[in-house]
Amino acid sequence: MNVYDFDKTIYDGDSTADFYIFSLKRHKKILLLAPSLICAFLKFYVFKIGTKTQFKEKMYKFLKYCDIQKDITDFWNINIDKIKPFYKNQQQKDDVIISASPEFLLAPICKTLKINYLMASVVDEHTGKYSGINCHGEEKVRRYREMFGDTKIYEFYSDSYSDTPLAKISEKAFIVKGNRLLDWDFSK
């Protein structure tokens, strides 16, 4: 089985950021949250206070202004073309997507692409609150093992070396840079 990260790996961009921009254009009230989002950004990314999950929960407050199901459907109708050609050309029926993006955002596109296995961050689509841990780093391995046990990963693909824990349990691993697939550099 092959395992893929989603954002910047098989999707050309960051789906959460793209959905935020899409929602902002559609629901201007989201602008009311800008001051708290800027503060949260500075706190986490500049002053290194708090966790990534806490930052994301602040960001996801914009969801309360969305018509979630309609907005997600419309978003993927517009953005399905951002699925990278390399993935479309090699997709297999037992592919696994493991992503830190919210499950509610990725589940519809995975269904459209006929990807049966998705592990992502469990986030309430109305409140932005997490149930559990952000699906990142070692958490991705834990979730993979929880679902598939010791089933070997044949090929693993990601745009980020933060996914080295998954690369280490794979027979082959590739770093994705744009549309280029490079052998994983375990020295990074």
What size, in residues, is the chain?
188
Q: What is the rounded CA–CA span in Å between residue 67 and residue 56?
A: 19
Task: Give the pLDDT score at 132.
Answer: 87
Task: Give the pLDDT score at 78.
Answer: 97
Q: What is the rounded CA–CA span in Å between residue 101 and residue 125?
A: 12
**Between β-strands 117-121 and 153-158, what pairing exists: parallel, antiparallel or unpaired?**
unpaired
The pTM of this model reads 0.94
* Residue-wise pLDDT tens digits, 110-166: 999 999 999 999 999 999 999 988 999 999 999 999 999 999 999 999 999 999 999
Average pLDDT over residues 52-76: 95
Looking at the chain, the whole-number percentage of residues with pLDDT higher than 70 is 100
**Between β-strands 2-4 and 153-158, what pairing exists: parallel, antiparallel or unpaired?**
parallel
Q: Does 188 have pLDDT greater than 90?
A: no
Q: Which phi and psi angles does 80 have, rounded to 5°?
A: -60, -30
Burial 38-63 (b: 16+ CB within 10 A, else e): eebeeebeeeeeeeebebbbbbbbbb
Quickly state the pLDDT bin for 183 (edges 50, 70, 90): very high
- List the beta strands (DSSP E) in the chain: 2-4, 96-102, 117-121, 153-158, 170-177, 180-183
Task: Give the pLDDT score at 52.
Answer: 86
The mean pLDDT value of the chain amounts to: 96
